[in-house]
Structures are given as structure tokens and as C-alpha cells.
Chains A and B, each alone.
Chain A
Amino acid sequence: MAVEPSTRGGLLGWIEDRIGLEALRHVVEAKTVPVHRHGAWYYFGGMTLFFFLVQVFTGILLMLYYRPSSQEAYESVQFLVTQVPFGWLVRSIHSWSANLMIAAAFVHLFSVFFLKAYRAPRELTWLSGFALFGLAMGFGFSGYLLPWNKLAYFATRVGTDIAGALPLVGAELVRFLRGGDHVTGGTLSRFYGWHVAILPALATSMLALHLLLVQRHGMSVPPSVELEPASARRTMRFVPDFLLRDLFGWTLALGVLAALAALFPWELGEKADAFAPAPADIRPEWYFMFMFQTLKFVPGGELLGIENEAWVILLFGAAGAGAFLVPFLDRRVVERGGSPLVSAIGGAALTFIVVLTAIGYHAWWPVGTAAVLILGPWVAGRSMAGARGERS
């Protein structure tokens, strides 16, 4: 079918005739976002995306100097942070942004969970989002090893060995992850490949699907808001109202990121040594800390012929699988508009994660950070919904 030529002249008309932006403009203009007291949680998906874009940009810059071999990796990062102009800043931003991305993704995931946004017809949006969260963890785990320092080396040995707890496929999986029987330079090359090629390809495809589904179904409205009369429901236009608020959030995120990266440059530590003991302050990235700490509490021994730590690891796996499949397990939310038991289980899981992380660090900051990330959007959402109500 022939396409009608654009009525616009000049460059815009020329582009319009070739790309057909008019159709996109109609979609954008028609897109609205619900306004209610839980609205602040909507911004965390976009914020996660913002940090992901920062990761892509700084990651490409780091690739220009990084050398992925056990002989050169540590030295190349050392050169980058000491000799390359602003090298320390780019690396620090990459490391901090990775952590903030996971934090934003945590908030996004739990808010979607508690607001029951996974219910029909958004099951695939939840599944693709959960897969993206898993990929983000994969980015974190593979990226942690790349500087080839002591902490990362042992964290990778422990982390990959955990996969060995899986029945039947465990041993093969460990070899697959490590690229051999031990954590060596071969593991480093393999992790580099995952980190800069395989995971980005998977994440980009999954992100495209996730965003497409978000666009198709629009923002979910929580069941408690859905129960309110239709006349009380309000919306705002995506462009410019929501977009400008989103950009404000991104600016705030950039400010926090820049401050953290500049004031607390990411440390490099000591070079990995396969024949040195594990350092006393060994720890994984903070988002694996609750599992690491749980494993510390489990005494050695066996239950039904399976080692205790394997039970714990299998239990974590089962919990993850349960969370992944929650749209299909939680049928009550569709039938009765709420599922307090599922929310309670989620609340218990969140409390467990925060408490075990705090114990792992022997510090209160995980509790404080969690409180700010929960109470901040909770208060902001009510305030924003109220302020808009007064204007309209």
C-alpha cells in the first residue's frame, strides 16, 4: 500500500515520509499514566533503565583500556585509575551505577510485587522483568571478577561452587561457569565474554520485550485503587507530565551517582592470588550478602543424604522460582482483589533480606537504606497525588 506523502515540508516532512513518525506521535499523545497515592513507585523502572544506560556508556569506555587476562586485568585497571585522565571517575561511576541499578531494580521488583501489578494480563511483563533482574545479578557477578582482585577471586570461587549444590547437573554447571575445574584466567575471559557480549545481548532483547509489554498494557493500577469509584480515578499525560517527572528523577539519580562516585571512589584492592588464603574481610556484593550470611549460620552436616548447605541453596532456588511464577501461583488476587498471604510472604522475604544483610555487614546502614527506599516513595506518592488533586 502506498504511503500518503507528509503535509509537512522541509527536513521534518522528508523524515516523516521515510519513517512515519506521525503514528508514533499519536501513540505517545494518547498514552496516559494513572495518578494515585502509590504513583511514586512507577518511577523506579525508569530509574533502573537510566542506570542501565549509564552502565552501557561507561562500560564501553572501560573496554578501551581493560585487558581480560589474569596477567593483565588487575594492572590494566590500576593503569586506568591512576594514569588515564578521569579513568578513576569512569570506573567509579560504572561500579556505583551498577549497585544503584540493582538497588533501583530491587525497589521496582518489590513495589510491583506488593502492588500486585503482575496480575493478568501482565504476567509476561513480570516474567520479563524478573528475567531482567536475574540478568542484572549476572552482570554484577561477572563484573565483580573483572578487576581480578582478592575479594572478587574468592567471591567467585564461592559463588560458582554454590552452583555445584544443584543435584545431577551441579558439577557440570560449575565447570561451565568457570570454564574449567578451577577459577583461573580462563574464568576471567569467560566472565568478560558474558559481561560485555552475551548478557548485554540478552538484556537488550529482554528489555525491548519488557518495554513493549509495558507500552501495550499501560501502567497497572493497584487493586486498592481499582476498588475506588471510576469518577475518583485520575490520569496524567505521559508526555509531557510523566516524562518531565521521570527526567527529574533521572537528574536526581545522576546527582546521587556523581556524588557517590566522586566522594567514594571504588577501591581496587589487592591482586588475586590463587595460592593465598581468603582475606578476613571477604564478602560478595551487597545483594548476595543475605545468602552468604545465611550460609555462615548453617552448621556442617547432612539431612536425608544431602549436605545442609545444599538444602539452603535449593531453598533459595525454590524461593526464587516461586517469586518468578507468582502471577500463576497467586490466583486469589484476580478473584478477590487482594492476596494478603502472598503479601505477607513477600514482606517476610524482604525483612529476611534486609536483616541478614545488616548482620553480614555488622552495620545498620542496610536497615536505614531500606527504610528510606520504602518510606520515601510511600510519602512522596501520597504527597504528589494530593498536590495534583488540589490543582485539578
Chain B
Amino acid sequence: MSPTRRRFLDRFLGTSVMALAAAVLYPVLRFLKPPVIPEAATSRVLAGKVGELAQEGWKIFPFGASPGILIQVAPGDYRAFSATCTHLECTVQFDKPSQRIWCACHNGYYDLNGRNVAGPPPHPLTPYDVQVVDEEIFVTRG
């Protein structure tokens, strides 16, 4: 076989094998990447009832797929924020003795306005609007 024909065949076969590998790998890689599923655009949820907070003074509520935190600062004064810590995504809780919002994962603190005041959190918590209608507490995000 002439060197030119051999070289052509080598390259042809090499390219074919690479094309075959790509044809197998591409769908596999696309398969591994999860599809983006848009969440239902929930902008207002029923976070709880007035009586619920009398004992603990706070609760975590589902806001779509993410958690929110609702705190009763004083009778009739409610605050709500995203409960996802801005550091590494743990769910925060209300620390009653210090009257601050606390993330147990890396010991981060936020004040009752959601501002990051101590520890590693880099940003404030996203605040939500709170409305009380007939003993029911509704939380709205802007």
C-alpha cells in the first residue's frame, strides 16, 4: 500500500474513532448535567398563624423550595427573611437569648433586621414583607 493511501486511511480511521467517541461522550455529558426546572414563581405564602409563635417566638416555613424564617420580635411585630445563610447555605435559626439570628454551621450571626453582624456570613439575609390578615401571617417577597 502506498504511503499516501496508508496515511489517508490512518487519518480517516483516527478521525472516525474520535467522532465515535464524541458521539458517545456528548450525550453522556449532557445527561449528567441536570435540566433547569423553573420553580413556580411563589411570591406570597401563608407562613403561619399568630398563635403558633407564642411559644417559641419563631418558625421556619417553606417558601417554594427554600426555607424562610418568621420571627415575632414583639406582640404584633413580625419579621421574615430568607432562612438560607448567605455563607454556605445552611438554614438559620432564631437565638432567643441573644435576640439574633444564628447559623449553627459556621457560627454566623444576623441582627433582627437581617444584617450580618458576626462570623463568616458575607451578606445580609433577604428580607420579606409580612402581613397579618385574620390571625394568619402572610409573607411576600418583592
Contacts and interface: CB of A to CB of B under 8 A. Distances in A.
A277 B93 contact: yes
B120 interface: yes
Nearest to A174: B89
A178 B65 CA distance: 14
B37 interface: yes
A295 B88 contact: yes
Contacts of B69: 277
B91 interface: yes
Contacts of A158: 88-90, 105
Contacts of A154: 90-91, 105
Nearest to B121: A300
Contacts of A134: none
Given A161-B89, A162-B88, A180-B34, A309 B120 contact: yes
Interface in B51-89: 60-62, 65-67, 69, 83, 87-89
User: Do most interface residues of chain B lie in helix, strand or loop, or is the interface mixed?
Assistant: loop
Interface string B1-41: 00000000000000000000000000000001110010000
Contacts of A278: 90-93, 103-105
Contacts of B37: 180
Contact of A277 (B34, B83, B116, B119): B83
A308 interface: yes
Contacts of B32: 176
B77 to A, nearest CB: 21
Interface in A260-302: 274-282, 292, 295-296, 298-302
The 9 closest A-B pairs by CB, nearest first: A277-B93, A300-B122, A278-B90, A161-B89, A278-B104, A158-B88, A296-B106, A161-B88, A179-B34
